[in-house]
Chain A
Amino acid sequence: MAAVNPVAPAALVEDAAAVPARPARNRSRQRNLAIFRYVTFTVFGLFFLLPMLAMLRFSLERATGTGGWSIAAWTSIPSYQIPNGPALLGGVEITLEIALVVSLIVLILVLPTMIWIHLRVRWLARVMEFMSLLPLTLPAIVLVVGLAPIYNKIEQHNVSALMLCWAYGILVLPYVYRALAAGLGAIDATTLAEAARSLGASWPVVMLRVIAPNMWQAILNSLMLTIALVCGEFTIAYLLGYNTLSVDLFSISRNATNASVLFSGSAAALLFTFVLLVIVSYAGRRLQRHRA
């Protein structure tokens, strides 16, 4: 009955407008709800914002004494040398490179395999799902124990931290899989593929120029998850002894006397990841518009 009623013209609160306003008896409930919502959003907003603000404040602290503002900690990042360690910028560079290579693994290995299985090898779909979601039950701290002997072998041939890409490709697999599976499920891939095939397209053309452009948003999502994960990953890099950005920040926190660089470095790392995500999302949208 109430659902049939036309929505009352005078919306009580902006947010409550979505709920069809009902007469008298619900009015107090709606007011309580509005109060609950404002209190909740304020409290949680503070909880999530304050640590970030605190970090930002300390990153702008003068090195000598407390109080006062200075951007010295930020300007020293490019030339910062970790006590008994390498330059901070080296960690940034290698992290960026790893993110790039892992993205390539996703694009060249995971994505085509998923499309291929979806179109041609349906009986493997369950196996693929199992494999992809398995890392969820194998936390990085467990995986790294088994990876250590494998990386001992790898290090005999190549000692570059870039080799972390293989482990990271596994770490991102569940997230990438779910993002891509959602995209693949949202389009009628089979019909698209049949149409393209009947017009004479080869399978690579079907995947690259028919299916992939149609699930562009999902691909973009999976890449953003990949980048965010790689930039923040610590466990595997640290325990296998590689110096990525987060490992560098950790050693600063343990060795440095000047704490403000730690906070400016951490804030910069977050900012850096954020900017990277914005760039990827922007470039992706540009590319999509270009294609459309």
Chain B
Amino acid sequence: MAVAATQDAGTGPAGARRRPPAAWTGTVPFFAYAALFLLLPTGIVIWNAFRNSTGGFTFSNLDFTAPGVGSAFIGSFQLSLAASLGGAVLGASLAYAVATGNPDGLIRRLSVAASGVLAQFGGVTLAFAFLAAIGPIGLFLKASWYSSFPWGIAVIYLYFQIPLMVLVFLPAIDGLKTQWREASESLGGSTWQYWRYVGGPLLAPAFLGALLLLFANSLSAFATIVAWEDQISYVVPQLIGTSMISEVGLNNANQGDALAVGMIVMVVIVMVCYFYLQRRTSRWLR
């Protein structure tokens, strides 16, 4: 108490005690901005999702039997599953390869820096790069599966999913203590037994959490898949895009909002599980 009082009184050179405006007023501009461009849009989406064309309340926008809607949700799920499972398994192996090297070595620094850049690299240019590499006129491979859904696009998604996995999963692998492995070995455990009974269970929550993060990441990607194919709507983001650009094809102007709410629900479920697993992970791997 006394300490706090001296601190307060002793700040000004004159020692004069005057009451400044409450400190929280300084945060008003930021929160006003966030309210206007983050909370308000979210509110608009949710509000419009439950309104019909005349402004009344309705559930009919959330019609998953409408043409294309059900298949888009299934497509989103398929693509996200393929891209997140592939990204998680491959990214985890890469992360392990990175983690077993010199912690201050060039390879590690390079991998981490490159992952940081590539994990954000999910734009239209990514689709064009793959078009050049494995597209119909591809330089290295004229892959017949390039334009097949979901495999073609899932491979393209791996380009940012793997680096994201490395970023998220590397700390977890680093958290595995050498002593655990030594303990397992001094008790006669084989490599397989170590991973089956020690390493695997320890990394499982971190792996599942990262998997969910990757799932959400590929669920919400839009730019790459539109640059890959803009005629057929395979996934929900494409359908939302179509509903925004032209109102044709959808029987209801507010269906875009309803689809967006569907996306929010999916992402929120995934992210809540992610944060829960994150907390579990941090209990062991510190």
Contact = CB atoms under 8 A, between A and B. Distances in A.
B133 A55 contact: yes
Given A29-B191, A41-B97, A54 B24 contact: no
Interface stretch (A11-19, A71-79, A212-220, A282-290): A11-19
Interface of B: 7, 10-13, 23-24, 26-27, 29-31, 33-34, 36-38, 40-45, 90, 93-94, 97, 100-103, 105, 107, 114, 117-118, 120-126, 128-130, 132-134, 138-140, 158-159, 162, 178-179, 182, 186, 191, 216, 219-220, 222-223, 226-227, 230, 237, 240-241, 244-245, 256-257, 260, 263-264, 267-268, 271
Interface string A15-41: 101110000000001000100110011
Nearest to A30: B100
A31 to B, nearest CB: 13
A237 B223 CA distance: 11
- Chain A's interface: helix, strand, loop or mixed, by majority? helix
Contact of B118 (A3, A48, A250): A48
A18 B123 CA distance: 37
Contacts of B139: 53-54, 57-58
Contact of B133 (A51, A121, A173, A233): A51
A223 interface: no
Contacts of B182: 2-3
Interface of A: 1-3, 15, 17-19, 29, 33, 36-37, 40-41, 44, 47-48, 50-55, 57-58, 109-110, 112-113, 116-117, 120-121, 124, 127-128, 131, 134-150, 166-167, 169-170, 173, 194, 197-198, 200, 225, 228-229, 232-235, 238-239, 246, 249-250, 253-254, 262-263, 266, 269-270
Given A1-B186, A18-B102, A141-B260, 9 more contacts: A51-B132, A53-B133, A121-B24, A124-B24, A128-B30, A169-B37, A233-B123, A239-B241, A262-B128
B23 A250 contact: no
Contact of A169 (B33, B130, B220): B33
Nearest to B223: A234
Contacts of A51: 126, 129-130, 132-134, 159
B94 A228 contact: no
Contacts of A139: 219-220, 222, 237, 263, 267
A198 B24 contact: no
A263 to B, nearest CB: 6
B240 A141 contact: yes
Given A15-B102, A18-B103, A131-B31, A249 B128 contact: yes
Q: Which of A18, A57, A128, A141 has the most CB of B within 10 A?
A: A141
B129 A136 contact: no
Contacts of B125: 55, 232, 246, 249, 266, 269-270
Contact of B140 (A50, A238, A250): A50
A40 B91 CA distance: 10
B31 to A, nearest CB: 7
Contacts of B107: 15, 41
A176 B110 CA distance: 22
